[in-house]
Structure 1
Amino acid sequence: MDVVAWLLDSDPALRWQVLADLTDAPQDEVAAERARVATTGWGAHLLAEQADDGRWDGGIYRPGWVDESRPFFDAWTATHFALQQLADLGLDPASPQAERALGLVREHVRWEHEGEPFFDGEVEPCINGVALRTAGYFEQDASPMVSTLLAGRLPDGGWNCWAEHGASVSSFHSTVCVVEGLLAWERAGHDEPDVREARLSGEEYLLDRGLFRRRSDGTVADPRMTMLSYPVRWYHDVLRGLEHFRLADRRDPRLAEAVELVRGKADERGLWTLELHHEGPTLLDLGEGEGFPSRWVTLRALRVLRWWDGGPG
């Protein structure tokens, strides 16, 4: 099976990343395909869902409606996760569509917590980590959010969204969100020693645990972390961790087990399955189902393996 051809038979948001990361296509070809994200398919659909008040589905982290029958529920339709998805799709930050969408967010969107501007951040590090990654990707000023994250690091080097309620041990989920955000902030041109030091300490937290094991006894911290998912939302899994270290270009022998775990999940055709779907309402149907081959998971796995197998350089 021609896996690359199968991947290219898709939406512009996926096609441009395949061209860039797996085929080394000319930059003008990649740029032309990426430009279509704003006007065609998933990207255009998601942009069209934004209201004039800058929000998606009437809310910031949760939608404007509440399911009273469920005391806690996941919904991926509000502004926070819509922006995360637009960054995943690779919407060009310099496009007029991105500038309009982010302008509306800056002007209107305030966190429900205490009315802080969106890019000033909230209180929970997992939320701020995802929002900082959005800010870095779309080149937005998020200095207050960075300060909040730096102040919230725990003694073991990572972060935990329950720290304000007494948690003293970091969480895989919170930590991966934060290190992604800090890396995006650095890549946006903020070469600040304290930010880099915090990111490296969070990475050490993940590396010391091989991305999915308890440090205390080496057992699997949560079997779901060994399952491949997309979109990842706020959840950690081995492929999400490896994608982060690929972007950071930090090869470390402690990643080897996670790499081989991912490599071993390919089927006889060279495709990877969506093993875990994070339930909840969405604004975007990516056309993929749990238990079936996934273009998104396959792309992400292949580019991680290409990076890892390429060696230093």
Structure 2
Amino acid sequence: MLSIAVIGAGRIGQVHARTIASHPQARLALVCDPVQDAAATLAGTYGARSCQDVEEVFADPQVDAVIIGSPTPLHIPHLLAAAKAGKAVLCEKPIALDMKDVDAARTELDAVTVPVMFGFNRRFDPSFAAARAAVQEGRIGALEQLTIISRDPAAPPVDYIKVSGGIFRDMTIHDFDTARFFLGDIVEVHAVGQHLDQEVAQAGDFDAAVVTLRAASGAVATIINNRHCASGYDQRLEASGREGTLFAENIRATTVRLSNAEVTDAQEPYLDFFLERYADAYRLELSAFIEAVEAGTTPPTSVADAVEALRLAEAATESATTGQPVRLG
């Protein structure tokens, strides 16, 4: 059983703590957050210990692995400190807010020998993973076009948006990794950002965007994002190839459909948010992490994957700002 500490008792820390506590091969040992009440409350929910000083996590001999859910500027420092302490690492996205921070730490990152995995949980969603497996098996022939739709029910608080790094680093970065998961290397990015919500615009960010990615293979991915969706958390994927098309559709609480004099085939709304929609993905992500740590194998998502996703986010930001496509060398 892997003894795991969670750094960060915010929303994503709560997701990971709950996932660890319900996993038969994991134990939540410690929750760390500079806000004492937040750390103690989350730890107490699952019978774990809590602390405020992150150095206690790295020095604790009872901790085998660390899940990093701290603010993004601390991801690389916490990753490196955990690795130096011999702890395996599962780090949330993005790896940093700026590629300059990655470049400054490149030598240290390259020297890490402990298992390090990044939290691109979409890869582990059963539907998306099955679609990708079908592509790999040649079920639709050569993949030519990929469409990824990701719309949130509502925008996050403006205070969060101001420090998030922007929609491409915070939201689209999952879709960038999904596109690479299906298509491989991306050579060109063209993004159009939208200011549909003036409160978000005043915070300096786009609240919707459409991104086109061209892969080295010639395939093209289209990513559609929006911070608002009246019908719930809209998460869909379509992969089209020469010999067929794959669809991964939205998930609802039940499969019940209603037909009467007013509606035909009416269904329940989509699941409300990522906590519900990707619960299985977080569980399977944790299982993959535990398996890699215990078997001594390479985790399925790497530092290199995180770096490439950030590169795409920066390119999309540049493209949306200038109105021009950005070539990646």
TM-score scaled by structure 2?
0.29
Higher-Rg structure is 2
With CA pairs under 8 Å and 6+ residues apart, which has the higher RCO, 1 or 2? 2
Structure with higher helix content: 1
User: 1 or 2, which has the higher strand percentage?
Assistant: 2
